[in-house]
Amino acid sequence: MSDSTTERSDLDRVDPEPAVAEPAAVPQLDPDAGTGEQAGEQAGEQAGERAGDGSDDQLGDGVVGSDVERLENEGEIAADYLEELLDIADLDGDLDMDVEGDRAAVSIVGADLRQLVGRDGEVLEALQELTRLAVYRETGERSRLMLDVGGFRADRRARLEKLAAEVVEEVKATGERRSLEPMTPFERKVVHDVVAAAGATSESEGQEPRRYVVILPG
């Protein structure tokens, strides 16, 4: 994991860019990709690859120096885009940039930005997709950048890890499978990781946006 975390506390004005990429510049995303993490991770779930999508806190074996530089560049592009949005909306906020696993990570912190999170993170998911499209417009490569606002994802991860651990113990004790509530692909990945670390098995069922995790006995 890159140890070089950059914080932007002063919002420098940049040349305005369109909020959404022009049609010709928009990548051919999976129809479910608008939910945030569906692209790539659903395939990983179906193949049983619980730890291969880069959500872990450590760099994957395939991430080398050039990849880190590329991801750091994605973070810079995303930060420029988000700075302009905050400026236009007259919102305060600092930007933290890092590399987590094999994806860039940007967090907006330092202010009450609940309006950028929305109910159950719906606004955050949409803003993340717009930011990824802004990165694509600049690089020509599809981005898997992770955006957090006000620690929403970090808090949600902690709660999910606790819930998953409790349900794994319940399933082991009762021998009965347990279905969890529908989650985003990011949230399902968190649960899958906890279940795998506990030596148990889980799978995803259903269709977006009602796709959910099932924790299995045995």
pLDDT tens per residue across span 165-178: 999 999 999 999 99
Range picked from 23-27, 47-51, 65-69, 142-146 for highest mean pLDDT: 142-146
Q: Which residues of 123-136 are buried (b: 16+ CB within 10 A; e: fewer)?
A: bbbebbbebbbbbb
Is pTM beyond 0.85? Reply is no
Give the DSSP letter of residue 217.
Answer: P
Residue identified by tokens 């305060």 is 92
Q: How far is CA 170 from CA 165, 166, 216, in A?
A: 9, 6, 11
Give the DSSP letter of residue 142.
Answer: -
Residue 199 burial (10 A CB sphere; 0-12, 13-18, 19+): exposed
> What sign does the dihedral 66-143-147-208 (CA atoms) show?
negative
Domain map of the chain by residue range? 6-150, 155-216
At 5-26, the pLDDT tens digits run: 444 443 333 343 434 443 333 3
Cβ atoms 194, 202 nearer than 8 A? no
Do the first three CATH levels of 6-150 and 155-216 match, i.e. the same topology? no
Q: Which CATH class is domain 155-216?
A: alpha beta
**Which has the higher per-residue pLDDT, 27 or 162?**
162
**106 closest CA partner among 116, 163, 45, 115:** 116
What order do you get walking across the sheet with 146-149 strand by strand?
Answer: 6-8, 94-100, 103-109, 146-149
Cβ atoms 204, 198 nearer than 8 A? no
Indicate whether 141 pLDDT > 60. Answer: yes
Domain 6-150: give its CATH code.
3.30.300.20
Can you give the length of the chain in residues?
A: 218
